[in-house]
C-alpha cells in the first residue's frame, strides 16, 4: 500500500498544471504584470479541471486520519443523505484532497507566473512589448546566449547573424520566449 502524502500530491501537480496549459494559445505579452499572467494561467488550468478522486476506502481512511488530515481541513462539506460512516469518511477525504490540490495548484501557478513575469520584464527592458511564445522546450537552445540575467533568463543577440534579439527562460518544463528586432 502506498502512503498518500501532501508532498506526493504536490509533486505531481506541477506536471499536471503544465499539461493543462494550452501553450499555443497562451496570450502573454511582454508588458503584462504578474497578476495578469496568474489570472491567465488560472483560467486555463481551471478549464482543464485538474482533479484527484478518492475512490478507495483504505485511501480515504489514510487521508482523514493520517498526515494530510492532520494538516488540512475540508471546508463546506455536504453530508446530507449520508447514512454510513464509510460514505462520510469518503466525502471528508475528498474534501481534504481538494484543499491540498487547490493550495498546490495556486502555489504552482504563482511560481510559473513569477518566472514568466521575470522573462517578460527582460524582454520589456530590451524594448519589446509584443506577444511572448510559450512552449515545452527552449526555442533557442541551439544557439549560445550572449548573457543571462540574475533570474536565469537567457538573452540571445544577433541570432543567425541578423539583428535579432531573443529572450527565453523556463520553469517546470515550461518555457516563455520572444524573438524581435
Residue 176 grid coordinates? 516563455
Of 134, 133, 138, 158, which Cα lies nearest the Cα of 147?
Answer: 158
Check: CB of residue 105 under 8 Å from CB of residue 50: yes
Rounded to the nearest angstrom, the gap between the alpha carbon of residue 60 and the centroid of all alpha carbons in its chain is 26
Q: Per-residue confidence of the chain (181 residues) as pLDDT tens digits?
A: 456 677 777 777 777 887 778 777 788 999 999 999 999 999 888 888 778 889 999 999 999 998 888 888 888 899 999 999 999 999 999 999 999 888 989 999 999 999 999 999 999 999 999 999 998 888 888 888 999 999 999 999 988 778 899 999 999 888 999 999 9
Residue 161 grid coordinates? 547573424
pTM of the model: 0.83
Amino acid at each position: 500500500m502506498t502512503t498518500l502524502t501532501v508532498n506526493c500530491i504536490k509533486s505531481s501537480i506541477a506536471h499536471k498544471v503544465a499539461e493543462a496549459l494550452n501553450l499555443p494559445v497562451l496570450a502573454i505579452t511582454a508588458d503584462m504584470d504578474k497578476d495578469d499572467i496568474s489570472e491567465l494561467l488560472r483560467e486555463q488550468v481551471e478549464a482543464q479541471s485538474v482533479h484527484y478522486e478518492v475512490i478507495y476506502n483504505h485511501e480515504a481512511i489514510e487521508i482523514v486520519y493520517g498526515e494530510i488530515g492532520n494538516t488540512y481541513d475540508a471546508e463546506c462539506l455536504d453530508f446530507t443523505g449520508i447514512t454510513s460512516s464509510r460514505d462520510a469518511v469518503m466525502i471528508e477525504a475528498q474534501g481534504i484532497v481538494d484543499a491540498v490540490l487547490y493550495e498546490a495548484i495556486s502555489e504552482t501557478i504563482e511560481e510559473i507566473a513569477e518566472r514568466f513575469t521575470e522573462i517578460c520584464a527582460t524582454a520589456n527592458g530590451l524594448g519589446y512589448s509584443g506577444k511572448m511564445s510559450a512552449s515545452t522546450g527552449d526555442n533557442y537552445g541551439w544557439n549560445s546566449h550572449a548573457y543571462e540575467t540574475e533570474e536565469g533568463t537567457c538573452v540571445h543577440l544577433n541570432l543567425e547573424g541578423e539583428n535579432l534579439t531573443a529572450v527565453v527562460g523556463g520553469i517546470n518544463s515550461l518555457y516563455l520566449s520572444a524573438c524581435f528586432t
